[in-house]
Each structure stands twice: as C-alpha cells, then as structure tokens.
C-alpha cells in the first residue's frame, strides 16, 4: 500500500487544496493550480484524495478555526496542519471519516429519505451526512454537511434539535430545511416555526415562510423565502433568480464529482436566472456557456474551467 504521508504529489495536492479553499486566492494562483493539475495525471488522483481527506477533516475543523480566530495560527496553516495530522495518523483518519460517525449519508447527486425512530422523517440532499442521538429526554441530530429537510413528529416532552456548524435549530412545529453551504448555515421554515440559536447570539424564532442564515459573521436578519426554490432540490432541481455565477457554480459542484474552477473573478458576479436539473450538471454548464458571456471547458472528466469569452 502506498504511504500517502510521504507521497510528494499528495502533499502538494493538500497544499493546493487548502489554497483553493482560501477566499482571497487570486487569478494567478488559480491559473498555476490548473497548470499543476494538468502537468501529470497523478496530480489529478492526488487532488481527488486530498478532497476526500477534507471530508474527514470536517468533524475536527472547528478546533482549527478556533485557533485561527484566536490569532494563534494562520488559516492556511491551521487547515493544512489539520489535514496533515490526518495523513500522519491512520487510526485518527479512520475514526474521523464520515462513515464512522454518520448514521445516514449520500454521495454526489444522491437523495435519501429515512424514517427516524420517533416517526419523524428526514430527506438528505446531495453529498450530505447526518447523525442521530435520541435519548428519553431529547432528540438531537447533527448535520455534518450538505442539506436536509425535516418533517418532525410532535412530541412536546422531547425537543427535536438539529446541530449544524456551530448553531442549533429546535423544531417548534413540523417542517423545515437546513443547508450548510459556503461557510454558512441556511435555515428555512416550511410549516410552523423553529428556534435558531447560533454561537454568541440570542435565539431567534423563525416563522413559516421565512429564512435566515448564520456563520462566522453572526446571524443575518430573517428574509422572506421562496419556498418552491428552497425545496426544488427534492425534485432534483436547482432554481436560481439573479444569483451570482460564482454561487451557482459552487452549488452545481455539489452535484458532481470534480471541481468547477472560476478562472476570472470578474465574471463571478454575473447574475444567473435559470432552472437546472441537478442530475445533469453537464447540461447545466452547457446552458450557462450558451446564455452568458463565458466559456466552459471540461478537462480530464474531473476539472471544469469557466473563462470569460
């Protein structure tokens, strides 16, 4: 078996992966990354392993973020150090992979519906993972990644609480949607209400038809939600209206194996209004290329590059 901890291509891939996760990465760095990826087929395979390792790292990432916020370590160093720790410690790697802790999980472009022990139901979207911790006192769930729609069985004596990336959502009614995307959690209430409690903030009661998000920058004020658009993923649809292209590409990436790289930040703000089938992301990218001033290049079946025309 190959020792990935000493594989130069794999270690390089980890560095590139962390760099590409940085919001301040520049166009020159993106171009260098694409050149590195295209230089050798082994680089593509190494980057794929690095991406898989990131999934395992998600469970311990908050600790490294805490060190970064405290000023004790740079963000890139924190993330790279955490990933390197997983490479160097196979036992820890095994313990932290999604299959070791998630009761339910899905892959790219998969959906899955489960009936929970209390009679509630949950539907998981693409590339999602959920854990359960039901006790006689409460029903606690952890959404590790992705998106989930919950329809909650009424049981007033046992609260139904979903933990997602530093915050909790407690059901006060029956149906709501939770999505982890782009370092924020988006909560939408379909029926009745929920109580959202993000770290270092006061709880907010969110009523049916409303949506809010929280993340490192705190809680954003509630806004009216387009419930049809929010729930479109449950019918393998992505509905966007005047959404920046960079955000649309990030969303489409969740439904395919491989990276979509925006090669010029200037085109990232182009507004997109469309309905896409998430089971056919290649067609969605073709529509984007045909209707916007951009060109799309699929390389190696793994990497998709988006350029200005």
CATH code, domain with 194: 2.60.120.1440
The pLDDT score that the predictor gives to residue 2 is: 41
Quick check: 207 and 82 in contact, CB under 8 A?
no
Q: Name the pairing type of β-strands 210-215 and 223-224.
A: antiparallel
Residue that finishes a domain, picked among 84, 100, 116: 100
Report how many domains make up the chain: 3
Cα–chain-centroid distance for residue 123? 16
Quick check: 12 and 39 in contact, CB under 8 A?
no
Residue that finishes a domain, picked among 227, 260, 277: 227
Please indicate, yes or no, whether residues 164 and 186 belong to a single structural domain of this protein: yes
Q: Please write the tens of the pLDDT for every residue from 114-127.
A: 999 999 999 999 98
Quick check: 59 and 65 in contact, CB under 8 A?
no
- Give the integer Cα–Cα distance in Å for 226 and 222: 13
Please indicate, yes or no, whether residues 199 and 252 belong to a single structural domain of this protein: no
- Residue 250 makes CB contacts below 8 A (sequence gap 6+) with 181, 182, 260
Quick check: 52 and 45 in contact, CB under 8 A?
no
- Residue 66 makes CB contacts below 8 A (sequence gap 6+) with none
Please indicate, yes or no, whether residues 27 and 67 belong to a single structural domain of this protein: yes
Please indicate, yes or no, whether residues 191 and 258 belong to a single structural domain of this protein: no
3-class DSSP state of 133: strand
Please indicate, yes or no, whether residues 213 and 285 belong to a single structural domain of this protein: no
Q: Please write the tens of the pLDDT for every residue from 137-186.
A: 999 999 998 999 999 999 989 999 999 988 999 999 889 999 998 779 99
- Give the integer Cα–Cα distance in Å for 254 and 271: 19
Q: Which two tokens stand for residue 17?
A: 């992966």
Using 70 as the pLDDT threshold, list the residues of the chain that sit under it. 1-7, 21-23, 52-101, 299-302
Please indicate, yes or no, whether residues 119 and 205 belong to a single structural domain of this protein: yes
Measuring CA to CA, which residue among 76, 48, 11, 8 is closest to residue 259? 48
Please indicate, yes or no, whether residues 272 and 251 belong to a single structural domain of this protein: yes
- Give the integer Cα–Cα distance in Å for 206 and 223: 10
Q: Which two tokens stand for residue 250?
A: 């990030």
Quick check: 153 and 167 in contact, CB under 8 A?
no
**What percent of the chain stands above pLDDT 90?**
50
Return the residue matching tokens 């940085």: 22
Return the residue matching tokens 């006061």: 202
The pLDDT score that the predictor gives to residue 279 is: 93
Domain span at 125: 102-227
- Residue 101 makes CB contacts below 8 A (sequence gap 6+) with 59, 131, 144
Please indicate, yes or no, whether residues 112 and 76 belong to a single structural domain of this protein: no
Please indicate, yes or no, whether residues 49 and 156 belong to a single structural domain of this protein: no
Residue that finishes a domain, picked among 54, 70, 100: 100
DSSP annotation of 239: E
Q: Which helix (H) or strand (E) holds 36?
A: helix 27-39
Quick check: 76 and 84 in contact, CB under 8 A?
no
Please indicate, yes or no, whether residues 240 and 294 belong to a single structural domain of this protein: yes
Please indicate, yes or no, whether residues 74 and 166 belong to a single structural domain of this protein: no
Please indicate, yes or no, whether residues 139 and 204 belong to a single structural domain of this protein: yes
Phi, psi angles (nearest 5°) of residue 121: -125, 150
- Give the integer Cα–Cα distance in Å for 169 and 172: 9
């Amino acid at each position: 078996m190959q020792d990935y901890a000493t594989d130069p291509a794999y270690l390089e891939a980890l560095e590139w992966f962390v760099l590409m996760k940085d919001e301040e990465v520049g166009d020159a760095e993106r171009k260098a990354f694409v050149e590195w990826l295209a230089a050798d087929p082994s680089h593509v395979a190494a980057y794929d392993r690095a991406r898989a390792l990131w999934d395992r790292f998600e469970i311990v990432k908050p600790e490294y973020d805490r060190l970064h916020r405290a000023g004790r370590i740079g963000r890139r160093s924190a993330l790279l150090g955490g990933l390197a720790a997983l490479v160097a410690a196979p036992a820890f790697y095994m313990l932290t992979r999604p299959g070791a802790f998630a009761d339910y999980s899905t892959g790219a472009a998969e959906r899955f519906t489960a009936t929970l022990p209390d009679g509630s139901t949950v539907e998981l979207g693409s590339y999602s993972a959920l854990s359960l911790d039901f006790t006689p006192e409460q029903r606690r769930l952890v959404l590790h990644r992705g998106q989930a729609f919950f329809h909650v069985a009424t049981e007033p004596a046992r609260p139904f609480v979903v933990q997602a990336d530093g915050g909790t959502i407690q059901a006060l009614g029956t149906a709501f949607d939770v999505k982890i995307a782009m370092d924020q959690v988006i909560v939408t209430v379909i029926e009745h209400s929920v109580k959202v409690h993000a770290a270092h903030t006061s709880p907010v009661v969110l009523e049916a038809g409303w949506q809010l998000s929280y993340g490192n920058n705190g809680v954003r004020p509630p806004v009216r939600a387009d419930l049809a658009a929010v729930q479109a993923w449950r019918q393998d649809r992505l509905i966007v209206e005047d959404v920046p292209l960079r955000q649309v590409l990030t969303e489409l990436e969740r439904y395919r194996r491989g990276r979509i790289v925006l090669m010029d930040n200037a085109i990232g703000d182009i507004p997109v209004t469309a309905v896409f089938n998430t089971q056919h992301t290649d067609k969605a990218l073709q529509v984007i290329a045909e209707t916007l001033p951009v060109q799309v290049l699929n390389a190696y079946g793994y990497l998709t590059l988006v350029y200005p025309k």
